[in-house]
Each structure stands twice: as structure tokens, then as C-alpha cells.
Amino acid sequence: MDLPTPTGSSSRRQLLRATAATGLAAMAPRLAAGQSAAASPASPPAATATPPPAHPLLTPADDFYDVSRGNPKPHKLVGEALVKARLTPEAWRLEIVADPFVSDLVKEPASITKPLAIADGTALDLPALLEMGKRHGVRYLKAMQCLNIPSPLGQGLWEGVPLRDVLRLCGPMRNVRRLYFHGFHNNDPKQLFQSSLSYTEAMETPPGELPAFIAYRLNGEPVSLERGGPVRMVIPWAHGFKSIKWLQRISLTNDFKANDTYANQNNDPDSHLKTAAYTDKCPDTFAAGQPIIMTGLVMSGLSGLKRVEYWLHRVEPGAPAVTQDDVTYRAAQWTPADLESPPADWRQVLPAGVAPKDLLGFDPATGRPLQWPLRYSMISWSAALKDLKPGKYEFRARAVDLNDFAQPEPRPILKSGKNGVDAVRFEVL
């Protein structure tokens, strides 16, 4: 079993983005990454006109790049099969049970006072979860990214109930060190796809951080079947494999190992989203004399974002290819790129009826983001290249985190998240 086959509308999203600039959009104020939006001076005049962001802040649910296992894939089920899979809003149930697991090392199994089980009618249904949402509901912007795909899958406004509040329904517990969770997998053990968190990660949310939660809305709509609805796990800090779709069952266990299905494929099951810039495809050729706008996305991962910077160099005929950390690479001059500013009017971005002050990560008084970009979210960047003489060029963009580590540092281990610095080549004619 290897990486699940990505399907979906990636080609639509990854349409050529770099453009020869004509009639650029209105001037926009800039805000340095990591700077507090609330503390920024009132609209400093921008030095140059910036183009509109290359990517929307909210990705339409259908435009997410889909990464799903299963045969048939759960979101392809219809009619009675969908009801039997409990993937309609009426049929959906969440079980929370104790795992009897013991081993040479783990002497005592987990136990919980009030399991939620289908057999005795105590499993959580959607109306009960939505009711909990009225008191405990959270909303935030978060990008989804697969550990194994070198580009984010999409970004949404997710809504749901923190896992910690749902777990408290089960009363006092003993010997619970982790929880496993999985979605519908055609009742076939070979298709099981599960992920896990430590009990601490699920129950204790540090101030200002985003909680693990059980999501039922995306971009103001019920989570679609393709995006893992009716109900999906969302783990804000983690790669997509922890955000289990078609959530059905949480199993509380005394097994202390991160027994995620993804770990079996040599992936780091404790990976966090990485701060990294990703460059959009660009045309192979540009006409000399026209400015060129390179674009992409940057993810603010665990270590935050200070800036995006780029390096453009001419590829002289016969020159050897540049490789990461060779002499040419180490001597590179990197130039800061422009970052998308926070929207002046969030109502243009958010679904109707959702105010920015209701979102985690925003100041409840001013409705402004407390940091920019928001942690575990992504924004567009752009770089205007001017006066390029005819010739062949290589362009690279990289993120620098709040600890001054430049991508792919600090963790250039591809099995904890693809964050390589890729080169884009083009020719000016």
C-alpha cells in the first residue's frame, strides 16, 4: 500500500499562474509576516502596485485536491449503501469506546465510565453534536496538506466541536494514553485508515493555539461527502493524514505508540505542518521587456513565517545544474517577495453570517487576525521580475521561519512533510 491516488481538480487549481503583468490591481498595504495586524500603522503607502492574490483565501470545497483511500471510495457510495455506511446526516453516528489492548509492556487496558456505542443506542448523532456546537463550537481557517504531496491541498473555514469537549461525554477514564480514530473503510480491515493523538494533545489546548476538533461545516456549508462529511476530524497542526474523513469511531487506548496507518509507510506520525513556500507553475517563455509576476502559496507551519524570499539567476549556456547547498546555491542572493495582506474587509472572504471576531486566531474586539499569516494557514506570495534580458532563467522561492531557518530547514526530512525548494525554469525571448 502506498500513497493514495490523488484525484480531483488539481489541474484547475494549478493552472498557470505567473503572468506578464498588465494593468495591475490597486495599491494594497503590506504587512510583514509575524507582525501583529492589530498593531500595524494605518495603511502605509505601498511602494509598488501589487497584483491580486493568486489564490483565494478560502478554497471552494470541490476544488480541494482529494486524497482518499478505499475501494470503492466512501464518497462514491450512493443510496442505501450510503445509509448503511452511516454517511448520511441522519444515519451518522460516532462511537467512543475503550480499547482492550494489553501487551508485555502495557499491563492494564484503558477503561472509560460512559462509552458511546451503537449497540446500546448511546452513540453520538449529528443533532447532538450540532447542539454541543451551540455552546462549544469553534471556527478557524486552516490549510489541508498531505505529508507526501509538495503543495497544499486547499484551505477552508472549518467549524465544529473541540475533541476535548466530546471526550468529556465519556466521564472519568483510566489508563488512557492515546486515542485512535478512524472513518468508514468499507468494513474491510485491509482498508482501515486510522490516526492517533496523545490524550494530552486532545485534552489540553495551549492558550492561543487551535484545538483538535470534530468538524461538521466547511466554508459555511455542511462538510460535503467528498471532503469527509457528514463529520470529519480536523487536527490543525498536523498533515492531512490525522484529519480523518467520514469519522465513525474513536478508540481510547493505553497503547502509547503512535499507531497511525501513515506511520506504516515510513512517514513521521508526529510531523507538524511545515513553514514552506510553494511556487506555482509558470509559462515556459516570456517576451522580453514585459514584467513577469511569479506567484505561489506559503504555509505558516509550527515555526511561523517571517518572510518569503526568492532567488533568480540566469542559466548560462553550458553551466552545470545548481543543486541544493552547492557553491552557487550558498552564494545566492535572496530577495524578499510580496506577501498577501490580510483582507481589508473579511466579510468579502467569509461565508455570510460569519464575523471575523468569531474565529479563533482573531482579536474578538477588533476582528483582526492576531498574527499574519494565521498559524496553520496559507496565503499567496508574489514576486515581480523586471528588465530581464533574453536568456534562460531559474527561479526559486523559500520561506524563512520565525527562528530564521530558511526552507527546507529545520527539518529537511521528506518523510515528515514535503518542503523542498523547487526550481522553476523559463526563458525570456
Ligand X SMILES: Nc1nc2c(c(=O)[nH]1)N[C@H]1C(S)=C(S)[C@@H](COP(=O)(O)O)O[C@H]1N2
Q: How far apart are CA 238 and CA 196, in angstroms?
A: 11
Query: Segment contacting Mo ion (CB under 5 A): 6-14, 79-87, 144-152, 210-218?
Result: 144-152
183 binds, among Mo ion, ligand X, none (CB under 5 to 8 A by kind): ligand X
Query: Segment contacting ligand X (CB under 6 A): 64-72, 82-90, 105-113, 294-302?
Result: 64-72
246 binds, among ligand X, Mo ion, none (CB under 5 to 8 A by kind): ligand X
User: Does 75 engage in binding with ligand X (CB under 6 A)?
Assistant: no
The minimum distance between CB 409 and Mo ion, in angstroms, equals 23
CB contact burial 208-218 (16+ within 10 A = b; e otherwise): eebbbbbbbbb
Q: How far apart are CA 150 and CA 415, in angstroms?
A: 12
User: Does 247 engage in binding with Mo ion (CB under 5 A)?
Assistant: no
> How many CB atoms within 10 Å of residue 26?
8
- Beta-bridge partners for 162: 213
Amino acid at 258: A
Give one DSSP letter per residue of 167-235, joined into a string. Answer: HGGG-SEES--EEEEEE--TT-GGG--EEEEEHHHHH-PPTTSPPPEEEEEETTEEPPTTTT-S-EEE-
Query: Segment contacting ligand X (CB under 6 A): 58-66, 101-109, 127-135, 341-349?
Result: 58-66
Query: Segment contacting ligand X (CB under 6 A): 15-23, 63-71, 294-302, 388-396?
Result: 63-71
CB 381 within 8 A of CB 298: yes
Candidates 158, 181, 216, 241; binder of Mo ion (CB under 5 A) is 241
Candidates 243, 300, 303, 380; binder of ligand X (CB under 6 A) is 243
Give the largest Cα separation in the chain, rounded.
Answer: 74
The minimum distance between CB 4 and ligand X, in angstroms, equals 5
Q: How far apart are CA 143 and CA 273, in angstroms?
A: 9
Q: Would you say 123 or 238 has its CB closer to Mo ion? A: 238
Q: Would you say 10 or 175 has its CB closer to ligand X? A: 10
Amino acid at 84: K
Q: How far apart are CA 56 and CA 60, in angstroms?
A: 9
User: Does 139 engage in binding with ligand X (CB under 6 A)?
Assistant: no
Closest residue to ligand X in the complex (CB): 240
User: Does 395 engage in binding with ligand X (CB under 6 A)?
Assistant: no
Candidates 124, 138, 144, 210; binder of ligand X (CB under 6 A) is 144
* Count of CA atoms in the C-beta half-sphere (13 A) of 358: 19
User: Does 68 engage in binding with ligand X (CB under 6 A)?
Assistant: yes
Amino acid at 202: A
Query: Segment contacting ligand X (CB under 6 A): 59-67, 279-287, 325-333, 338-346?
Result: 59-67
Q: Would you say 67 or 129 has its CB closer to Mo ion? A: 67
By CB under 5 A, the residues from 37 to 96 that bind Mo ion are: 67
User: Does 55 engage in binding with ligand X (CB under 6 A)?
Assistant: no
CB contact burial 352-373 (16+ within 10 A = b; e otherwise): eebebebbbbbeeeeebbbbbb
Rule CB under 6 A: which residues touch ligand X? 4, 64-69, 144, 146, 153, 183, 193, 227-228, 240-241, 243-246
Rule CB under 5 A: which residues touch Mo ion? 67, 146, 240-241
